[in-house]
């Protein structure tokens, strides 16, 4: 049975409340783990037993209702409609009517048309129309032992202003606080919508062939082997092979590539692409849960739960910041009047300023939005970042280690030389190699198969074994065939001959007799040279680790002008080398960039593993922390730019928020700031911080 459960909290606009909800849900009996992502409003649970689900759901609703009564808890499995995430329940008509009525009474009271008692009544009436919900929520929270929240602080500050007869300021502060909250909620909603639009790549329908005609169904209903039709303008719903038609595809949602890609019969295309010109018919190769688009959406959802160190620090900081400021406010209210024999009213007013600015909402809201905005921006560029922590770590990277084949080179090998021994022909040498390579999907094996013109009966091969980093071996008509590098021959005690040409050499032996070698050459990707040059300009050290021959690897390294090249490495050797490079660094982090299943261990061991999503193996994509969907090394430059901009915005928000709050508190303590400035330092700063966080989402590629 499934122990995972997800809920959408519709209308959740308070980041501080989101943290409290997560903490409370974790304490529910039967909940093993809980994670609430404020950006997506997604509450994900791991239950100890699915039998407890109903009781747990009721308890969650009770917790949410106590903290945020207007928020609705929706079972995502029962109603998987992401558009509901951003439903603006917090900005309802009733709330606006009360706010408008309160504003009207407040303006009448400010005109001072009546006697003091009537004016006071108008101020009190306007206060409760504008801030009654806040006062009521503060009282409820105090009853539950939840004291230091924004409702309590605003209530205490404004009632304190009433106590010292600052009636206009008491109501005005509550009024502008409420207006600021409305604007802040709207800004948060817009930010969430912007992020969701970047990730809104899930196909809605599929046209599947049923009894000779095409029926409209959901992608989840289609099975492997079904025939589907994709009309112009529609998003490809599932991975498949084109069996009829030819068209151009918009791949930008997955790869960030703006140039349309042509697809014709025999081509494999991914779900999530948009068909732009002609009807295509596909043979489905993956069901929806295993399709490219589903994997990407799962990665993006998991990304928001891997919080960056700065984000975690701000969460902890917020727990202590508010109580600390309240204690300082208490000291400001009591100590100067006692020690300096001054008016209590004056110092109580100044202490109220501390209460208004003590809520850390600007940081608690804007920091997660900044990181998820960075993740969304990277996704738009065709880069999947699996968490904000990796986005932050990128700013500390000093060394970038590349695999060679399929990462810096195209991996599109071609046979450039066939050198048999005197007693064998070129055709025979190619045939022996092709027989044992016939079941392999490795680019080298495919190059050999393309060069062998003879029709082969691969069923004659027995005991076929692929040896990672070495080659393959198998039995043919009772004789053992070896095809691989020189290390493979040496392990079997066979003497081979080194080729004269630079390239990857595949040596072939039959029953321990050396037959000759085949040289296969690869070529650099179009953007590899420029990518490495730009990465070096950014101050990174570039290293190549390759399983290829030293001469072939060094030739590629020379063309790219990298700092170091290590060749003839087995998968375990790459891991050892990555560990050695990490230990040798005085400071800074190390990235490993690879594509094949052989690279998975090194990807997992590096500080950050980056895989090529297009040609990369599933193992490499799973082991990596970041995926480049279009396999272009130049995407790394865009990735570093996005990471740098995200860090810049995060620290701008931190410095700005804390700086303004500290300045207003100091000015308030000195009698040079009023509660009006305090309101700006609270909701005004939060609003500006949220708007600043949105800059990364709105920025153009390359900014």
In the sheet with 72-75, reading across from the earlier edge strand, the strands are 31-37, 42-47, 4-10, 72-75
What is residue 484's DSSP assignment? Answer: E
Q: What is the mean pLDDT of residues 39-56?
A: 84
Provide mean pLDDT across the span 465-487: 87
| 379 in any annotated domain | no
Residues 470 and 544 in one domain: no
Alpha carbon distance 386, 400 (integer Å): 19
Kindly tell me if the per-residue pLDDT of 494 is higher than 70. Answer: yes
The pLDDT assigned to 84 comes to 43
Looking at the structure, tell me whether residues 298 and 318 fall in a common domain: no
Neighbours of 336 (CB within 10 A): 18
CB 619 within 8 A of CB 597: yes
Residue after which a domain boundary falls, among 302, 336, 362: 302
Residue 380 lies in a domain: no
Is the same domain home to 419 and 516?
yes
Domain contains 632: no
Residue 634: helix, strand or coil by DSSP?
coil
The enclosing domain of 32 has a CATH number of 3.30.70.100
Helix axes 635-669, 344-357, angle to 10 degrees: 170
Grouping H, G, I as helix, E, B as strand and the rest as coil, residue 544 is strand
639 belongs to a structural domain: no
Q: How far, in Å, CA of 236 to CA of 231, rounded?
A: 9
pLDDT tens readout for residues 9-31: 887 877 777 878 888 899 898 89
Same domain, 293 and 318: no
Using pLDDT thresholds of 50, 70 and 90, give the confidence band for residue 259.
Answer: low
Work out the burial of residue 144: count CB atoms within 10 Å of its CB; fewer than 13 is exposed, 13-18 middle, 19 or more buried. Answer: exposed
Q: Does one domain contain both 440 and 562?
A: no
CA proximity to 6, closest of 27, 28, 35:
35
Q: Is a pLDDT exceeding 90 seen at residue 146?
A: no
pLDDT, position 197: 62
Q: Which residue from 343, 338, 333, 335 is spatially nearest to 157, judged by alpha carbons?
A: 333
CATH code of residue 261:
2.70.150.10
**In the predicted model, what is the mean pLDDT of the chain?**
84
Backbone angles phi, psi at 384, to 5 degrees: -100, 115
Which range, 44-53, 237-246, 439-448, 550-559, is most confident? 237-246
Looking at residues 139-168, what average pLDDT do you find? 82
For residue 537, being part of any structural domain is answered with: yes
**pLDDT greater at residue 102 or residue 502:** 102
What CATH number does residue 460 fall under? 3.40.1110.10
State whether 543 and 404 are in the same domain: yes
Angle between helical axes of 309-340 and 635-669 (0-180°, round to 10): 10
Beta strands in 205-337 (DSSP E): 206-210, 213-217, 227-230, 240-244, 247-250, 261-263, 268-269, 274-275, 280-284
The pairing of beta strand 240-244 with beta strand 206-210: unpaired
Which of 264, 284, 302 terminates a domain? The answer is: 302
Q: What is the mean pLDDT of the segment spanning 63-80?
A: 78
* Eight-state DSSP code of residue 524: B
The predicted pLDDT at position 617 comes to 55
Listed residues 286, 302, 318: the one ending a domain: 302
Active site residue 51: no
Name 250's bridge partners: 274
3-state secondary structure labels for all residues of 653-674:
HHHHHHHHHHHHHHHHHCCCCC
Q: Answer whether residue 112 is part of any domain.
A: yes
Same structural domain, 658 and 589: no
pLDDT tens, 359-382? 777 777 788 888 888 888 888 788
Residue 253 banded pLDDT, cuts 50, 70, 90 = low
Domain containing residue 54: 4-86
* 254-279 mean pLDDT: 82
Residue 224 has pLDDT above 60, yes or no: yes
Share of the chain above pLDDT 70, in %: 91
Which residue in 654, 641, 656 sits closest to 700, CA to CA?
Answer: 641
Strand-pair partners of 590? 399
Side-chain half-sphere CA neighbours of 102 within 13 A: 26
User: Cα-flanking dihedrals φ and ψ of residue 640, to 5°?
Assistant: -65, -40
* Average of per-residue pLDDT across 534-551: 90
Strand stretches in 109-230, DSSP E: 206-210, 213-217, 227-230
Q: Is the overall model pTM greater than 0.85, yes or no?
A: no
Q: Do 242 and 162 share a structural domain?
A: no
pLDDT attached to residue 89? 42
Give the pLDDT band (50/70/90) at residue 316: confident
462 occurs within a structural domain? yes
Q: Distance between CA 653 and CA 362 in Å, rounded?
A: 8
* Whether residue 659 has pLDDT greater than 80: yes
Q: Do 424 and 515 reside in the same domain of the chain?
A: yes
Give the relative orientation of helices 361-380 and 15-26 as an angle to the nearest 10 degrees. 90
pLDDT-derived band at 563, boundaries 50, 70, 90: very high
Question: What is the total count of domains within the chain?
Answer: 5
Catalytic residue among 149, 189, 226, 403: 403
β-strands 504-510, 479-484 pairing: antiparallel
Lowest mean pLDDT among 385-389, 558-562, 596-600: 596-600
Percent of the chain topping pLDDT 90: 26
The residues near 393 (Cβ < 8 Å, ≥ 6 apart) are 589, 607, 608
- Span 63-87, average pLDDT: 68
pLDDT at residue 589 in the model: 93
Is 652 in the same domain as 603? no
Evaluated on CA atoms 363, 369, 370, 371, the torsion sign reads positive
Contact 437, 449 (CB under 8 A): yes
Q: Is the same domain home to 245 and 162?
A: no
Question: How far apart (Å, rounded) are the C-alpha atoms in residues 16 and 30?
Answer: 24
Question: Out of 93-102, 509-518, 524-533, which region has the weakest mean confidence (pLDDT)?
Answer: 93-102
pLDDT of residue 482: 92
The SS3 call for residue 48 is coil
Give the separation between CA 688 and CA 652, rounded to whole angstroms. Answer: 11
Identify whether residues 100 and 184 lie together within a single domain: yes
Query: How many Cα atoms are found within 13 Å in the side-chain-facing hemisphere of 81?
Result: 9
The torsion defined by the Cα of 457, 458, 462 and 467, in degrees rounded to 10, comes to 150
Residue 636, in any domain of the structure: no
Mean pLDDT along residues 296-303: 66
């Amino acid at each position: 049975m499934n122990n995972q459960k997800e809920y959408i909290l519709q209308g959740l606009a308070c980041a501080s409340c989101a943290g409290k909800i997560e903490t409370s849900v974790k304490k529910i009996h039967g909940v093993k783990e809980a994670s609430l992502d404020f950006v997506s409003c997604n509450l994900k649970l791991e239950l100890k037993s699915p039998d407890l689900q109903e009781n747990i759901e009721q308890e969650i609703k009770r917790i949410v209702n106590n903290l945020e009564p207007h928020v609705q808890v929706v079972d995502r499995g029962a109603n998987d409609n992401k558009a509901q995430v951003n439903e603006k329940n917090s900005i309802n008509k009733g709330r606006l009517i009360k706010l408008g009525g309160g504003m009207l009474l407040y303006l009448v009271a400010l005109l001072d048309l009546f006697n003091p008692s009537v004016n006071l009544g108008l101020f009190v009436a306007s206060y409760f129309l504008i801030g009654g919900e806040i006062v009521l929520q503060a009282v409820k929270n105090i009853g539950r032992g939840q004291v230091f929240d924004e409702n309590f602080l605003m209530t205490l500050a404004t009632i304190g202003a009433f106590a010292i007869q600052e009636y206009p300021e008491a109501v005005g502060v509550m009024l502008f606080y409420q207006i600021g909250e409305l604007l802040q909620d709207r800004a948060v909603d817009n930010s969430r919508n912007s992020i969701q639009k970047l990730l809104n790549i899930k196909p809605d329908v599929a046209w599947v062939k049923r009894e000779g005609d095409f029926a409209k169904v959901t992608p989840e209903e289609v099975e492997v082997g079904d025939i589907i039709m994709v009309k112009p303008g529609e998003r490809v719903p599932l991975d498949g092979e084109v069996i009829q038609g030819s068209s151009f595809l918009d791949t930008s949602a997955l790869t960030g590539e703006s140039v349309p890609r042509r697809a014709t019969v025999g081509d494999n295309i991914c779900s999530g692409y948009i068909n732009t010109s002609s009807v295509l018919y596909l043979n489905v190769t993956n069901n929806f849960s295993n399709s490219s688009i589903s994997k990407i959406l799962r990665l993006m959802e998991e990304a928001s739960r891997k919080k960056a160190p700065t984000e975690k620090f701000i969460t902890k900081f917020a727990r202590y910041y508010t109580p600390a400021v309240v204690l300082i406010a208490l000291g400001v209210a009591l100590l100067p009047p006692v020690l300096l024999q001054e008016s209590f009213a004056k110092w109580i007013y100044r202490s109220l300023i501390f209460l208004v600015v003590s809520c850390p909402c600007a940081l608690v809201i804007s920091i997660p939005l900044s990181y998820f905005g960075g993740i969304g921006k990277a996704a738009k560029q065709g880069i999947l970042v699996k968490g904000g922590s990796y986005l932050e770590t990128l700013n500390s990277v000093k060394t970038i280690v590349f695999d060679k084949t399929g990462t810096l080179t195209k991996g599109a090998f071609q046979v450039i030389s066939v050198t048999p021994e005197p007693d064998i022909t070129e055709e025979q040498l190619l045939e022996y190699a092709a027989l044992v390579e016939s079941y392999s999907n490795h680019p080298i094996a495919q190059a050999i198969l393309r060069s062998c013109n003879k029709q082969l009966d691969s069923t004659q091969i027995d005991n076929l074994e692929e040896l990672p980093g070495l080659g393959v071996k198998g039995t043919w008509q009772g004789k053992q065939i070896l095809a691989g590098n020189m290390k493979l021959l040496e392990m079997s005690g066979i003497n081979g001959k080194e080729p004269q040409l630079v390239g990857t050499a595949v040596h072939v032996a039959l029953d321990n007799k050396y037959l000759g070698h085949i040289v296969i050459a690869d070529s650099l990707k179009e953007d590899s040279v420029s990518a490495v040059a730009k990465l070096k300009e950014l101050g990174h050290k570039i290293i190549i680790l390759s399983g290829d021959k030293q001469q072939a690897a060094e030739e590629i390294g020379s063309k790219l002008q990298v700092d170091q090249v290590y060749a003839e490495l087995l998968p375990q050797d790459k891991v050892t080398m990555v560990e050695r490079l990490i230990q040798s660094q005085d400071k800074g982090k190390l990235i490993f960039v690879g594509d094949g299943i052989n690279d998975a261990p090194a990807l997992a061991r590096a500080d950050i593993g980056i895989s090529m999503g297009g040609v990369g193996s599933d193992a490499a994509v799973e082991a990596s922390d970041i995926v480049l969907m279009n396999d272009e090394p130049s995407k790394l430059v865009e990735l570093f730019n996005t990471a740098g901009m995200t860090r810049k915005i995060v620290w701008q928000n931190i410095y700005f928020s804390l700086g303004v709050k500290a300045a207003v508190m100091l000015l308030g303590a000195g009698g040079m700031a009023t509660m009006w400035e305090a309101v700006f330092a609270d909701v005004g700063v939060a609003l500006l911080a949220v708007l600043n966080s949105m800059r990364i989402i709105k920025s153009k590629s390359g900014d």
